[in-house]
Structure 1
Amino acid sequence: MVPLPLWNDPDFKAGTMIRAALWLVQEIGEGNTFTKGQIREAFPGISQADRRIRDLRDYGWVILHNTEDATLTAEDHRFVKAGVPVWDPAARRAAAPQKPVSAKDKKAALARDNYMCTVCGISGGEPYMDDSNQTAVLSVTRRPTVLADGREDILPVTECKRCRAGSGGSPARADEVLGDIQALDAAERRRLARWIERGRRGSTPLDRVWNAYRRLPADARDSVRAALES
């Protein structure tokens, strides 16, 4: 393992993204917040330092701003979790971001996945049930995938930022899903086949009401809540 350099060592020759990663680890710490002012103080004269910090997200670093965490101001960021140790050249090369998904392919993938995270099912902009201060941000990324016949491919998938960070880069396994399906009893397999044919899971009246309520504008949701409470 490459030893951890000091982020402000004048003899350490590295780009701003790498030094910023070390700064986050050594000065801020996971779970803590930092401001744009602190970035400017740490990297004086580097106008793109905040952008280089955002680039760390492509390497699995989880860094939130106020659009994803309602407890933050526009000036604040939260360093949630470190990702790939980008100061290690081998690790950085192995995890280098792949070619971005084109706008056309991104639009198609989002529509195909019903604008929901394929891992947890949350919709873009929806608050997480276990943390209402955070709302889901969807992205389309290319994920290593093992197909049902064992072949490997890189395929686009819609994920929320939290699920993407928690995947650890592990491949999607269609072969394992097929094995789990084959282990179901006959009735369960028939039910699943109907869901697959419709392209969605069968929903109860409660599910349908909840989804309709969730799509209402905020003021309309408030009026429904007020009517129920009265």
Structure 2
Amino acid sequence: MSLPAWNDPDIKAGTMIRGALWLVQQVGEGNTFTKEQVRDAFPGVAQADRRVRDLRAYGWIIDTNREDATLVAEDQRFAKAGIPVWDPAARRAAAPPSALSAKDKQAVMARDDYMCTVCGISGGETYLDDSNQTAVLSITRRETVLPDGLGVTQLVTECKRCRAGSDGTPARADVVLADIKTLDPDDQRRLARWIAQGRRGSTPLDRVWSSYRRLPADARDEIRSTLEA
């Protein structure tokens, strides 16, 4: 399916959709752009840069210097395209939960302990494998299969990176329950304690490893040299 041209005067689409086409056709994934370039591309359109930012709700990754420390203040990076918003069916299926009130969104985040339900990172934390990116949390819809086989849509807290990397596969509570039942009784009881506590138990080795991983690289090298001596 060929894409419509972003600047086609006959295209019947709003600025967000035209902005998505502009990013794909003019900027390209991995490249940077500025607000000034957005304004030049859409002259006379009020808050065109905000309409482009709205694409983030559809899984588009558009980084600023808050998420990517290599960027200067005026630059943004089109890191990855998300839902093809120029496709009406895809756009409707992925419509963000905008009807939620701020209070409702806060309640979902509080329920999820203000952490991404996929990777466990908290908002504002840097990723261990990419210190230039900090986690940005939002509320998304997740298709879920319950233990009785019923399919439902549930609200979850996810970071921008996990949301963009999702392949759309439903969460399978029925499969998780089946896997739990295959555990031996001791492991089932241990898991039940973790569930009751809301966190996984850890051994002294787990805690030392976690503390070691949080050290700066030079400090980790010093510890490694001491242990190898």
Q: CA deviation at 1:132?
A: 0.3
Could you tell me which runs of 5 or more consecutive residues in structure 1 were left unpaired when the two chains were aligned: 216-220
Amino acid in the other structure paired with 2:187: E
Q: Secondary structure at the match of 1:31?
A: coil
In 2: Cα distance, 1:158 partner to 1:210 partner: 27
Q: Describe the superposition over 1:108-145 as per-residue Cα deviations: whole angstroms up to 9, x where unpaired.
A: 22222222111111111111011100011111223222
Determine if contact 2:96/2:140 at 8 Å carries over to the other structure: no
In 2: Cα distance, 1:60 partner to 1:71 partner: 22
Which residue of structure 1 lines up, in the alignment, with residue 133 of structure 2? 134
Q: Describe the superposition over 1:181-201 as per-residue Cα deviations: whole angstroms up to 9, x where unpaired.
A: 122233322221111121110
Which residue of structure 1 lines up, in the alignment, with residue 227 of structure 2? none
Change beyond 3 A, Cα 1:107–1:75: same
Q: CA deviation at 1:180?
A: 1.7
Which residue of structure 1 lines up, in the alignment, with residue 41 of structure 2? 42
Change beyond 3 A, Cα 1:111–1:86: closer
Which residue of structure 2 lines up, in the alignment, with residue 151 of structure 1? 150
In 1: Cα distance, 2:210 partner to 2:105 partner: 24
| TM-score calculated relative to the size of structure 1 | 0.84
Question: Equivalent residues in 2 for 1:61-76 (5 A)?
Answer: 61-76=60-75
Which residue of structure 1 lines up, in the alignment, with residue 14 of structure 2? 15
- Of residues 178-187 and 194-203 in structure 1, the stretch that sits farther from structure 2 once superposed is 178-187
Q: CA deviation at 1:208?
A: 5.1
Which residue of structure 2 lines up, in the alignment, with residue 218 of structure 1? none
Question: Equivalent residues in 2 for 1:87-166 (5 A)?
Answer: 87-166=86-165
Amino acid in the other structure paired with 2:176: V
In 2: Cα distance, 1:9 partner to 1:163 partner: 33
Which residue of structure 2 lines up, in the alignment, with residue 51 of structure 1? 50
| TM-score calculated relative to the size of structure 2 | 0.84
Aligned residues: percent identity? 73
Q: CA deviation at 1:92?
A: 2.2
The alignment covers a number of residue pairs equal to 219
In 2: Cα distance, 1:57 partner to 1:131 partner: 20
Q: Describe the superposition over 1:129-182 as per-residue Cα deviations: whole angstroms up to 9, x where unpaired.
A: 111000111112232221111122222211111111112333221111112212
Which residue of structure 1 lines up, in the alignment, with residue 83 of structure 2? 84
Could you tell me which runs of 5 or more consecutive residues in structure 2 were left unpaired when the two chains were aligned: 224-229
In 2: Cα distance, 1:212 partner to 1:108 partner: 31
